[in-house]
Structure 1
Amino acid sequence: MELIELQNIINQGEGLRIEFKMATNSIPGSLFETVVSFSNTDGGTILLGVDDNGIVTGIDPNAASQLTKDIITSLNSRDCINPPLYIQPIDVQHPDGLVLVLRIESSSQLHNHAGIVYYRSFEADIDITDNHQKISDLYLRKRGFFTETQIYPHLSMGDLDNVLFDKAYTLIRNNRSDHPWLMVDKEQMLKDATLWRKDYQTGQEGLTLAAALIFGKDRTIQSLLPAYKVEAMVRKENKDRYDDRINPPLRTNLIDTYLSLKEFINKHLPEKFYTEGDQRIDLRDKIFREVIGNVIVHREYTSALSSEIIITETSVQITNPNKPLFHGMIDSTGFNPYPKNPNIRKFFSAFGWTDEIGSGIRNTNKYLPLYVPGAKPVFFENDTFVTEIPLVFVSMGAFTEKWLKWMGFEDVFAENLKVGLDGVALPPSLNMTSWEELILHLVPSWHEKGTKLPVLDWPDNQVYEKNKIESVPSWNQKCTELLRKKVWYLIGILSLCTVPVKFQDIIRAFNYKNEKTFRDKYLKPLREAGFVVLTIPETPTDPDNKYVITESGRAFLAGK
């Protein structure tokens, strides 16, 4: 975890998914209550060495190592947490002291601490041990959301592949030689990892879907999930079919699936190294171990759709069947990660193939600009989760001069527009595009997405079809000839807000007189759509406040 991310969590304060605890050289008495309540509800982050007011008091550096060991040991003891949890605390050096960070994933199981079941409500850990209705509701919720936990009573150890257990032990040992799963046999490992479980609502007990996916023989997996497959192909020359592919598509266990996909990526994408501190990092490996790990860890395995990885000249596109928590673009700076298959994730973390929850998006954002200068990944949460990894960086900044004239802005805005549009990445497919081709891409995209956002009140009569756009006089020279008045204002505001800009400067760009009308008709809808925000949101009337575009706003403006 980076210091900036730690400070962002501290700034948010305690809440449903954030808890601060004072600690110096021993485990806080209430730690395990919070661990269990987070695990039983929506997950969360615990910061040790921070008081209730968000003041960093710090862990004793000399005690940090032993404190970490004591926490791990307790979390793996059924006398403390049942079923046990494997969580690796992370130490982060803050300017005011050492902070120990515990990221707790929402679990597919119901956990208790010393026999007491806790539930997270607002900032409190609530004892619900005797609330049978609440416990029943939690069981039903977890059973419905985490399909990996589905029990197959007739699935036996004979349906699993012993060779895969040997692979798993080797991978775990290579990543961490003192991992507790290395100390037990395979049956106990399955139980400790909740791949063998008992449903206390129904009385069913046995191996789960996750167990079959990780350790199952091919015929076992294909019998349970006949439609399941993972495709990987290259489309550079032959764009209708493929230049190369994994053939046949992968319908095998998740261990071999991950290794096959990594090998395919390594075959078709170049290495690039980077020195971070005193370490030499393979950027390709750093990025795509996360991307491929996310494909496997976050997939909805009961879906009949296939997972696909397609490598083109300009990008890597990944689509994955998904059970979405919301619909829309993920803002990498402020998202709250949520596990889709926490038990599968446990193994991938033990293998060293994924880091802490949310690390995939964070690390891809961190290392992709080093692999492809200027590039940023795009993540869309939907029924199909879409990830786009650009292999070229295409910026709107190259069109600043034409954009300025097209929008009808005065030259005084040119410098800021250049800086702002340089940071707006266009879809990689627009590499080497012309100005006219750009407009023919943007206008239909704006219309398609704008009409789906009722808050924008997008004009239905906006011209958006290619032949009709080209029939408008001066369509590529004056946007006011092509765009409806409201569309002109909305798009113009977004482009001005690509750098923080004061309200007075925005209305001056349009020579607009009525401030209230401008706020209500144009700025308010953009804020409600999540496309622009205030730089000082806690004090809206602050005279230093400015408006700035969000990641979702950038994606909309760029036609993504």
Structure 2
Amino acid sequence: MIIQELRKLIESGEKIDVEFKRSRSDITKDVYDTVCSFNNRNGGHIFLGVKDDREILGVEPEAIDKILRDFTTAINNANKIYPPLYLTPEVYEIEPEIKIIYIRVPEGGQVRRHNGIIWDRTYEGDIDITRNEELVYKMYARKQGSYYVNKVFPGLGMEFLNSDLIKRARKMATGRVDNHPWAIMNEEEILRSSGLILTDMETYKEGITLAAILLFGKDSSIMSVMPQYKTDAIYRVENVDRYDDRDVIITNLISSYDRLMEFGKKHLNDVFVLEGIQSVSARDRILREVISNILAHRDFSSGFPAKFIIEKDKIYTENSNLAHGIGELRLDRFEPFPKNPPISKVFREIGLADELGSGMRNTNKYTKLYSGGIPSFDEGDIFKITIPLKNIATAKVGPEKESVGQSVGQDVGQGVGQEEAVLQELILKLINKNNRVTKKQIAKEASVSEKTVERQMKKMTNVKYVGRGYSGHWEIRD
């Protein structure tokens, strides 16, 4: 690493993958805590001879050899760091006659402990998670690539599943693909082919998996094995302190998908958009991607309920996650990682999802068409998706409680399509808010062209422009 890169790291300050330690004359115990936390998480950079406020103190020249020797000995000592690590600290003269020690810690393939303690890394620093069973499980799952949904229940048979739901899944799969292999399989064979019946390696008994119960289980079966399971759908536009509508969903994943889609369609207008020369429902495409994500890719070992929330200016989702990185994901360097392969496989077979990694690209594409915005994807122990919206997406058609009055109910929504009614409703709202609003401003707010606004306003017999030019204003007639 060159001096300029080191300086840039120091100038950026401490964060989840950068840590400063004074350690001028001796190496302190907490350096090894940070080595373990970085190795257990995503790797990082440790600087010895730098204060927390980025001031470069340097390491005392006569102490450098001892610090290097002590550090190398400690990380190779299984009684101190377990399993042992092999790192090479480097000495750099960062400023004239001021030397620091730089330690690059990679992400490890095993869970490491310092003096028997498991350390993890967050934005706040190093945290001891040894006694937190949930966090320890998540760490081992990240390292071992194991999947919680493959947990086998040898005592549960096919009677704990909804037979009609499996038949529906077969119909959905065969309706999409000619000669689909499920067409000639019975229900048990479908489960086996999807990896939903496995052998418990502890008891060597066969049984249905947690994934099978989540996908096809009866509600009582799901609650018996996972009482914390829940998906919360919230619509919050008028009553921002609580909610305007809510659906608490505690059922199988396939039915949950249907209910979340219905909830989204109920509260989001299907704004007309073109993909090339073809009309598409960008709203439905966005809903499909974000809903399949919170259902198929969540960490089911966590008690954190998945959330699907619609607000005036955005949709956002939250679900527990086995993170393989921290921070915002970028489309140009995103590397997808399978979270629950057996659930994802069934979702792909029945058409509720596409290949791994396509969801982020599709969401980005259709959000631009729907609202002109760019979605964000934040990776962490809680995975978050945010979809920006324009007012036209959540504008209601029909009478308003406020000053729009009866004119909306009389002139909007009668004799026009839903899209036109929604746009006319929004125009009336914007005029009530500012009677000097321009057509250009309305077009920008509605995410449509200025010509579309002009065309709709000509149809609105209850709206008239009084005066001339910039000195005039809009009036709404009763």
Alignment partners' CA distance in 2, 1:264 and 1:142: 37
Q: Distance in 2 between matches of 1:221 and 1:199?
A: 19
Q: Which residue of 2 aligns with 1:292?
A: 291
| Match in the other structure for 1:207 | 208
Q: Indicate the residue corresponding to 1:150 in structure 2.
A: 151
Of residues 379, 390, 394 in structure 1, which corresponds to 2:388? 390
Provide the C-alpha distance between the structure 2 equivalents of 1:225 and 1:290, rounded to a whole number of angstroms: 25
Matches within 5 A, 1:291-310: 291-310=290-309
Q: Give the counterpart letter for 1:288 in structure 2.
A: L
2:332 partner SS:
coil
Residues 227, 259 of structure 1: alpha-carbon distance in 2 compared, 3 angstrom cutoff: same
The 1:171–1:241 alpha-carbon spacing in structure 2 relative to 1, beyond 3 Å, is same
| Counterpart-to-counterpart distance in 1, 2:167 and 2:190 | 12
> Who is 1:350 aligned against?
349
The Cα of 1:281 is off from its aligned counterpart by 1.6
1:142–1:189 Cα change, 3 Å:
farther
Would you say the 8 A contact 2:154–2:200 is kept in 1? no
1:59-98 correspondence runs (5 A): none
Local SS of the residue matching 2:232: strand
> Which one-letter code corresponds to 2:385 in the other structure?
T
Write the letter of the residue equivalent to 2:241.
D
Q: Which residue of 2 aligns with 1:265?
A: 264
Q: Distance in 2 between matches of 1:143 and 1:254?
A: 26
Q: Offset at 1:261?
A: 0.1
Structure 1 residue matching 2:333: 3-state secondary structure: coil
Give CA deviations for 1:367-398 in whole Å, capped at 9, x if unaligned: 1111002x0001111111011011049xxxxx
Aligned to 2:474: none
Residue 237 of structure 1 aligns with which residue? 238
Report the secondary structure of 1:318's partner residue: strand
Offset at residue 155 of structure 1 (A): 1.4
Residue by residue over 1:349-372, the C-alpha shift from the partner in whole angstroms, topping out at 9 and shown as x without a partner, is 111111110111110011111100
What residue is the counterpart of 1:376 in the other structure? 374
Q: 1:213 deviation in Å?
A: 0.4
CA distance in 1, matches of 2:145, 2:225: 18
After superposition, where does 1:147-226 map in structure 2 within 5 Å? 147-199=148-200, 203-226=204-227
Give the corresponding residue for 2:255: 256
- Segments of 5+ residues of structure 2 without an aligned counterpart are 1-139, 392-429, 431-478
1:270 aligns to what SS in structure 2? coil
**Cα 1:196/1:213, change in 2 over 3 Å:** same
Richer in strand (by share): 2
Q: Structure 1 residue 199: deviation in Å?
A: 4.6
Letter in 2 for 1:224: V
Q: Are the counterparts in 1 of residues 141 and 147 from structure 2 also a CA contact under 8 Å? A: no
Alignment check: 8 A CA contact 1:319 1:386 kept:
yes
Secondary structure of the 1:207 match is strand
SS of match in other structure, 2:149: helix
| Contact map agreement 1:143 1:149 (CA 8 A) in 2 | no
Q: Is the alpha carbon distance of 1:278 and 1:352 closer, same or farther for their aligned partners in structure 2, counting shifts above 3 Å? A: farther
Distance 1:142 1:161 in 2: 34
What letter is aligned with 2:185? V
Please state if 1:362 is matched with 2:361.
Answer: yes
What letter is aligned with 1:383? D
- Distance (Å, rounded) in 2 between the aligned partners of 1:257 and 1:251: 8
- Distance in 2 of aligned mates of 1:382 and 1:140: 15
User: Structure 1 314/277 Cα, relative in aligned 2: closer, same or farther at 3 Å?
Assistant: closer
Amino acid corresponding to residue 283 of structure 2 in structure 1:
R
| Partner residue in 2 for 1:423 | none
> For 1:78-126, what per-residue CA distance to the aligned partner results, in whole angstroms no more than 9, with x for missing partners?
xxxxxxxxxxxxxxxxxxxxxxxxxxxxxxxxxxxxxxxxxxxxxxxxx
What letter matches 1:382 in structure 2?
G
Q: Structure 1 residues 285 and 176, CA, compared in 2 at 3 Å: closer, same or farther?
A: same
The alpha-carbon distance between structure 1 residues 179 and 274, as it changes in their structure 2 partners (threshold 3 A), is: farther
**Separation in 2, partners of 1:310, 1:157:** 35
Q: How much does 1:169 deviate? A: 1.5
Name the residue aligned to 2:279: 280
Matched ranges for 1:302-451 at <5 A: 302-373=301-372, 375-392=373-390
Contact map agreement 1:300 1:322 (CA 8 A) in 2: yes
Where 1:145 maps in the other structure, the secondary structure is: coil
CA drift at 1:277 = 4.7
**3-state secondary structure, aligned to 2:239:** coil
Equivalent pair of 2:308/2:318 in contact (CA under 8 Å): yes
Q: Distance in 2 between matches of 1:278 and 1:176?
A: 26
- Deviation (angstroms), 1:180: 1.1
CA distance in 1, matches of 2:256, 2:190: 21
Deviations 1:494-545 (A, max 9, x none): xxxxxxxxxxxxxxxxxxxxxxxxxxxxxxxxxxxxxxxxxxxxxxxxxxxx
Cα distance in structure 2, aligned partners of 1:205 and 1:236: 49
Amino acid at match of 1:215: F
Give aligned-pair identity as a percent.
Answer: 42
Provide the aligned length of Structure 1 versus Structure 2: 253
How far apart, in 2, do the equivalents of 1:309 and 1:253 lie? 16
Aligned amino acid, residue 232 of structure 2: E
Q: Structure 2 CA distance, aligned partners of 1:362 and 1:265?
A: 20
Write the distance in 1 (CA, Å) between the matches of 2:155 and 2:144: 19
TM-score, normalization: structure 2?
Answer: 0.51
Distance 1:278 1:377 in 2: 24
Normalised to the residue count of structure 1, the TM-score between the two structures is 0.43
> 1:333: how far off?
1.5
What residue in structure 1 maps to residue 228 of structure 2? 227
Whole-Å separation in 2 of the counterparts to 1:366 and 1:189: 34
**Which secondary structure does the structure 2 equivalent of 1:227 belong to?**
coil
Deviations 1:428-462 (A, max 9, x none): xxxx9xxxxxxxxxxxxxxxxxxxxxxxxxxxxxx
Residue 124 of structure 1 aligns with which residue? none
Shift of residue 174, structure 1, vs aligned partner:
2.3
Cα distance in 2 for partners of 1:140, 1:272 equals 42
State the alpha-carbon separation in 2 of the partners of residues 150 and 317 from structure 1.
30
2:331·2:360 contact (CA, 8 Å) conserved in 1?
yes
Distance in 1 (CA, whole Å) between partners of 2:280 and 2:251 is 30
Shift of 1:177: 3.3
